Structure 1
Amino acid sequence: MGQAMSTTQFYLLGRRQSTLTGYLRHRASYEDAVQDAAVVVNEGQGLSDSVDLTGKAVIITGANSGIGFELASYAAGKHASVYMFCRSLERGVAAKERIEKLTRSKNVHVIECDVSLRASVENAVKEFEKKESSLHALVCNAGVLLNERTLTADGDETTFASHFLFGSYYLGKLLRPTMDKKEGRVVFVSSGGMYNTKFPSWAIATSAENCGQAYSGNMAYSYAKRGQVLLGEAWTKEWGGAGPKVISCHPGWVDTPAVEEAYGSQKKYLEPMRSCWQGAEGIAWLMSTSQSDLVSGEFYLDRTPRKKHIAGPFFSPGSFTRNTEKEVEEMMEKLKLRTGV
């Protein structure tokens, strides 16, 4: 009953909030300026949001395509030092060259990083820290949604490792000492898919072979995305006012190559879908606005904190997708033990 209600209400809420129609309605209520594209050529003609990221370093994972490419283009256009963490160096360099042509920026860098692998994340962080002493924003955007259970070279389930274990937790832990003390922020690009579930046992979340359940790519993705939301809450509680703001967010239903690959013809049920920039725009705001505008630990869509649970009657929170404090503590301990930090 709980699963059926949460899934149904997620879809109904998504039809209202996550589509292109929802984006346009939300955007009409913005108090601050908003751009129609990631890059505005004529900044002085009233088309820009007037953001200036000069002197600030930004890391965006999965930056060579889709939402990540839009975010990297936006940051470069606002004069940030942009670090694109990309699994494929070749595709990353090609995307970098496109961004340079769009923005005329000479401060865009590609660092090879497979966020599903511990050593690759470590090496990418070391390379970044050779170039920068302070990080303004970390945007954890990279990840995959696979329809068959696949293991990384380290033996971890790929979806869980890329979205959550190494691509969010480990990367965030390693970079925290470098985060700007006054304006730093960590942004987890989660998903409305997290509305479908709470974070399950570690064995199920990591798709361990002995967990007794058939593998579901969609549920593996949802577990990781719920985990990101819980991680944002846990780090907010742990770091308090001494660390960066930690935010999770939902881009809405966006017509990206990843969605096409995962859903194929079924994506018609998500239409009218947002463009990549329309999905990225609210995340660009989280990445660039003053830290004082952000509420740490919240789950955002289109510049606004949203509900984290809708599993009860009439979109009330319910209990089906809620984790107990003990369950969250166990999740955090397992993350620490697996990564060593």
Structure 2
Amino acid sequence: MARRWTEAEVSDQSGRVAVVTGGNTGLGFATARVLAARGATVVLACRSPERAAAAAERIRAESPGAAVETLLLDLASQESVRRAAAELRAAHPRLDLLVNNAGGLWPRRETTVDGFERTLATNHLGPFAFTGLVLDRLLPVPGSRVVTVSSIGHRFGSGGFNFDDPHFTRGWVYSARDRAAYFQSKLANLLFTYELQRRFAAAGAHTIAVAAHPGNARTEFGRELDPASRAVMSRWLRPLTWWLLQDPRVGALATLRAAVDPDARGGDFFGPPGRTQFTGHPAKIESSPQSYDVTAQRRLWELSEGSTGVTIDVRELLTNQ
């Protein structure tokens, strides 16, 4: 029987700079606290400055001397993404690790200031643009990684990514219960990871792209929902799945393994093993057949570049180093 992968496997991270989006709570916080405890300089990139500052203090209290910084980042706003990327690049000439962790689920369709459906904007388009805008800080660094956190929910969407109507404008029944927009965004996380890794490999980059999913973890996920929707989840879903939920520290192990496992390879996907993949210590697993669709990966890349205005040319970035 294979040995369980735990926090003890995370080696000394001294000298490394790690950015964790959504690092103030839940899985992001659980990831950040371990990296900081092992000596990394951790940047908590969050949309709430107050919550980010409080999270940084919690990490420092647990690990005195930990180097923790905060960065204002609202992934639903392309202006905020650009501003945060510029601030990060100015502060750090090199980055070792980018963890695209932040995400959300909304009870009804909302449009961002950029005209995007909020779930796709926050869970994919924002991370896509942010990655592209800071990638030049990762590419020169040996062993650097881009880790994107997906979900077991990527398996549950019907028919793959909806390129005909990615922003759910054509009379869809949009609710927290059907979660179609959320499932699509989590599939997008994997399509993005695999296409990014292919481009890294083609350009001969040392940076790798890896993905992870936490299984079912007890976090603040769903806090964006209205009180009525949260009540429904608490009353009907939580009692049914409580025994299939795990502590955020265990859920975050998949992200940590993707971030630091020396045996990880570009395009690997880590999460709880087994038939359901709801709980458990992380292992290398396979994602859904839709996520390996090369045509869909390339179409999403083109859609993302066109939507955000951020072009990610790995070869050119390497040439300009």
TM-score calculated relative to the size of structure 2: 0.83
What's the CA shift string for 1:68-99, capped at 9, x where partnerless? Answer: 11111111101111000010001111111111
Q: Secondary structure at the match of 1:67?
A: helix
The counterpart of 1:338, out of the listed 294, 302, 307, is 307
- Alignment-mate amino acid for residue 228 of structure 1: N
Q: Any gaps of 5 or more consecutive residues in structure 2?
A: 272-280, 312-321
Structure 2 residue aligned with 1:104: 64
Shift in Å at residue 244 of structure 1?
1.6
- Alignment-mate amino acid for residue 331 of structure 1: L
For 2:249 and 2:217, the matched residues in 1 are separated by: 9
Shift in Å at residue 225 of structure 1?
0.4
CA, structure 1 residues 50+230, in 2 after alignment: closer, same or farther (shift >3 Å)? closer
Structure 2 residue aligned with 1:305: 284
CA, structure 1 residues 151+80, in 2 after alignment: closer, same or farther (shift >3 Å)? same
Q: Secondary structure at the match of 2:107?
A: coil
Structure 2 residue aligned with 1:284: 256
CA, structure 1 residues 162+271, in 2 after alignment: closer, same or farther (shift >3 Å)? same
Structure 2 residue 321 is the aligned partner of structure 1 residue 326: no
1:40-55 matches, cutoff 5 A: 48-49=8-9, 51-55=11-15
Shift in Å at residue 61 of structure 1?
0.4
Structure 1 residue aligned with 2:266: 296
Does the Cα contact within 8 Å between 1:199 and 1:205 map onto a contact in 2? no
For 2:220 and 2:293, the matched residues in 1 are separated by: 36
For 1:144 and 1:323, the matched residues in 2 are separated by: 24
Please identify, of 217-226 and 242-251, the stretch whose mean Cα deviation from structure 2 is larger. Answer: 242-251
For 2:291 and 2:11, the matched residues in 1 are separated by: 37
What's the CA shift string for 1:18-41, capped at 9, x where partnerless? Answer: xxxxxxxxxx72376x33xxxxxx
Shift in Å at residue 202 of structure 1?
2.9
For 1:161 and 1:117, the matched residues in 2 are separated by: 8
For 1:83 and 1:49, the matched residues in 2 are separated by: 22
Q: Secondary structure at the match of 1:188?
A: strand
For 1:220 and 1:31, the matched residues in 2 are separated by: 33
CA, structure 1 residues 50+67, in 2 after alignment: closer, same or farther (shift >3 Å)? closer
CA, structure 1 residues 303+322, in 2 after alignment: closer, same or farther (shift >3 Å)? closer
For 1:202 and 1:130, the matched residues in 2 are separated by: 36
Structure 2 residue 200 is the aligned partner of structure 1 residue 239: yes
Does the Cα contact within 8 Å between 2:145 and 2:209 map onto a contact in 1? yes
Structure 2 residue aligned with 1:252: 215
Structure 2 residue 232 is the aligned partner of structure 1 residue 269: no
Shift in Å at residue 133 of structure 1?
1.4
For 1:249 and 1:106, the matched residues in 2 are separated by: 25
- Paired residues, number: 286
Structure 1 residue aligned with 2:19: 59
Does the Cα contact within 8 Å between 1:60 and 1:83 map onto a contact in 2? yes
What's the CA shift string for 1:96-135, capped at 9, x where partnerless? Answer: 1111111113410011110111111111111111221111
- Alignment-mate amino acid for residue 244 of structure 1: T
Please identify, of 268-277 and 187-196, the stretch whose mean Cα deviation from structure 2 is larger. Answer: 268-277
What's the CA shift string for 1:201-230, capped at 9, x where partnerless? Answer: 3343322x2x34222441111101001111
CA, structure 1 residues 59+214, in 2 after alignment: closer, same or farther (shift >3 Å)? same
Please identify, of 178-187 and 52-61, the stretch whose mean Cα deviation from structure 2 is larger. Answer: 178-187
- Alignment-mate amino acid for residue 294 of structure 1: A
CA RMSD of aligned residues (A): 2.0
Structure 1 residue aligned with 2:122: 162
CA, structure 1 residues 299+49, in 2 after alignment: closer, same or farther (shift >3 Å)? closer
For 2:199 and 2:10, the matched residues in 1 are separated by: 34
Structure 2 residue 130 is the aligned partner of structure 1 residue 171: yes
